[in-house]
Amino acid sequence: MKVLLLGGTGEARTLAELLVAAGIDVVSSLAGRTTNARVPVGEVRTGGFGGADGLADWLRAHPVDAVIDATHPFAATMTAHIVAASRVTDVPLLVLRRPGWTPGRGDNWHWADSPSAAAELLPSLGSRVFLTIGRQGLDAFARPGKSRPGLWTLARCVDPPEPRPSWCTLVLARGPFALADELALLREHRIDVMVTKDSGGQATSAKLDAARQLHLPVLVIRRPPVPTDVRTVESVDQAVQWVMRTT
């Protein structure tokens, strides 16, 4: 049994470890966009495939029994490519997506369908912004005009955007983050509104707890949907069970 695992997430690393321990050959594919990325066990390849056609060609040249898409919930382009490639090559596909976040008691959340939509809504919610969406989508918040009247922005990323933005204060950090540190960061910079993606997971969820404690509005960008006809699970254990049934 051999599996192509599209990863880069914590769930992908855990899944690779469990599958390799079960005697399954795993090829983990990393996009290579993050420096000093945590490398999973098993065989690893880095870099893109050349779109859906290139991925289909790779699957024909490197036969596998199954493909698991365990990329970030916002890696919509990669998901679209693997869905198309699996259809033309008839390789079984599973999408592993951790559950998104849900607001709790005391939360003041607002939703947007895209970074650009969030940028338009942002000025009505606050003026000192904690922008924690990673590098992708930052440009939407840099536009002149009504999207940024009087806004001061602190942007947190794992790696610096290229070119480095001049319109915001940049902090580079990798989760997981502790609640006490998130509270200190928000207080130090007098943040009055937070912007995040609905990434889900525990590694970066402390910021939401901090926003709740400080009664801050949170602007949440919805994740792109997975095609409804693609088998999807929410946990690593479910993914392992699917692989075992597929053998």
Examine the domain organization and report whether 42 and 63 are in the same domain: yes
- Cα-Cα-Cα-Cα dihedral sign, residues 108, 112, 116, 120: negative
Q: Over 70: is that where the pLDDT of 110 sits?
A: yes
Examine the domain organization and report whether 168 and 116 are in the same domain: yes
CATH code: domain of residue 157: 3.40.50
Per-residue confidence band for 149, with pLDDT thresholds at 50, 70 and 90: low
DSSP codes of every residue in 160-178: --SSPPSSSEEEE--S---
Q: Please, are residues 158 and 136 in contact by the beta-carbon 8 Å criterion?
A: no
The residue-averaged pLDDT of 67-85 equals 95
Which residue matches tokens 């088998």? 231
Q: pLDDT digits over 184-230, tens only? A: 999 999 999 999 999 998 888 999 999 999 999 999 999 999 988 89
Domain that holds residue 181: 108-221
pLDDT at residue 70, rounded to an integer: 96
Examine the domain organization and report whether 166 and 241 are in the same domain: no
Examine the domain organization and report whether 144 and 89 are in the same domain: no
pLDDT at residue 200, rounded to an integer: 94
**Lowest-confidence pick of 49-63, 149-163, 183-197, 222-236:** 149-163
Examine the domain organization and report whether 134 and 31 are in the same domain: no
Per-residue confidence band for 40, with pLDDT thresholds at 50, 70 and 90: confident
Kindly state the percentage of the chain with pLDDT values over 90.
Answer: 77
Examine the domain organization and report whether 94 and 32 are in the same domain: yes
CATH code: domain of residue 231: 3.40.50.720
The domain tally of the chain equals 2
pLDDT at residue 50, rounded to an integer: 93
* CA–CA separation, 206 and 182 (whole Å): 7
* CA–CA separation, 107 and 218 (whole Å): 8
Kindly state the percentage of the chain with pLDDT values over 70.
Answer: 94
pLDDT at residue 142, rounded to an integer: 87
Examine the domain organization and report whether 94 and 133 are in the same domain: no
Q: Over 90: is that where the pLDDT of 36 sits?
A: no
* CA–CA separation, 144 and 139 (whole Å): 11
More confident residue, 12 or 142: 12
Per-residue confidence band for 145, with pLDDT thresholds at 50, 70 and 90: very low
Examine the domain organization and report whether 215 and 133 are in the same domain: yes
> What is the CA 179 to chain-centroid distance, rounded?
20
pLDDT at residue 150, rounded to an integer: 77
Q: Please, are residues 6 and 68 in contact by the beta-carbon 8 Å criterion?
A: yes
Please work out, in degrees rounded to the nearest 5, the angle formed at the alpha carbon of residue 124 by the alpha carbons of 121 and 130.
Answer: 75
Tell which residue, 153, 133, 156, has the closest CA to residue 143.
153
pLDDT at residue 148, rounded to an integer: 57
Examine the domain organization and report whether 203 and 230 are in the same domain: no
Examine the domain organization and report whether 82 and 120 are in the same domain: no
Examine the domain organization and report whether 145 and 242 are in the same domain: no
Q: What is the pTM of this model?
A: 0.88
Examine the domain organization and report whether 51 and 114 are in the same domain: no
